[in-house]
Structure 1
Amino acid sequence: MRISVQHEPFDLGVESTAFATGHSDMGAIVTFTGIVRDLPNNSMDAMEIEHYPGMTEKAIEAMAEDAKTRFSLGDVLVIHRHGRLQPGEMIMMVATAARHRKDAFEAATFLMDYLKSRAPFWKREISATGEVWVESKDEDEVALARW
């Protein structure tokens, strides 16, 4: 299991290949990559993501351990960036390895729902009209509640 909260960009191909290597006992690997989405009228200059070092990693690690147990995973990877990001940049990646695809898909979805709703990150959208802190959305809470 690897959890990385980092400022630097990551290479999706390198990370996916490295994660998949050596898992001959697993029948499924699922990856998901989140992208910084622009505002509806292409007006966002950047998104700034803040976190508390140490606390954030521990919170994500606890959820990844829960996912490993809950879905019988062989391995988990979570990468989440912080700092100033531009629309179109990769913000995060989740990878799960399991013996069966259903567990790998469900675990990845579980982790993405957690990261969206509960991981201790604070996001601010910056545009020409000002700065707005991103608030939680009802649909994100509904998605998390199913678990």
Structure 2
Amino acid sequence: MKRTSIKITSDKLDLQECYRFVEDASCGGISAFIGTVRNDTQGKEVMQLDFSAYKPMAIKEMQKIADLALEKFDIKKIAIHHAEGMLQVGEVPVIITTSSKHRKAAFEACEFAIDTLKETVPIWKKEYFSDGEVWVNAHP
């Protein structure tokens, strides 16, 4: 049984796909984190974001996060999907879903996965404002 689903894509992310992947009859809890493009950063109006990834390394790092979450938390499955390319306000750059017998493990694993992804995965975003642009979240 496959316990992880890792994806970086220029296609629109699909919450139902992530939900269906982690769904399991033995699990009483499914947790989801859906990151959305917001219209404001530090008081500046955001027009759009452009996500770039060093894909081979990013997928490898995302798999490490999923494997560690399976090890650290009592979860059954985890999906980590990230978008690349230009996204508009309201669109979804990241979805993480987890399933577990009890809700607490699903919540904790989901939070761990998004926090670790932001710290370690080589995905960068360029924020576009009405008066310029800036790269942010550059990871090592």
For residues 20 and 78 of structure 1, what CA distance do their matches in structure 2 show? Answer: 11
Contact persistence 2:45–2:130 (CA under 8 A): yes
Write out aligned runs for 1:92-107 (5 A).
92-107=94-109
Tell me which residue corresponds to 1:8. 11
RMSD: 1.7
Tell me which residue corresponds to 1:51. 53
Give the CA deviation at 1:42. 6.8
For residues 65 and 11 of structure 1, what CA distance do their matches in structure 2 show? Answer: 22
* Percent of residue pairs identical: 33
Q: Provide the TM-score with structure 2 as the length reference.
A: 0.87
Structure 1: 5+ residue runs without aligned partners? 137-147
For residues 16 and 77 of structure 1, what CA distance do their matches in structure 2 show? Answer: 6
Q: Provide the TM-score with structure 1 as the length reference.
A: 0.83
Q: Which has the higher strand share?
A: 2
**SS in structure 2 opposite 1:9?**
coil
Distance 1:106 1:6, change over 3 A: same
Aligned structure 1 segments of 4 or more residues deviating by more than 3 angstroms: none
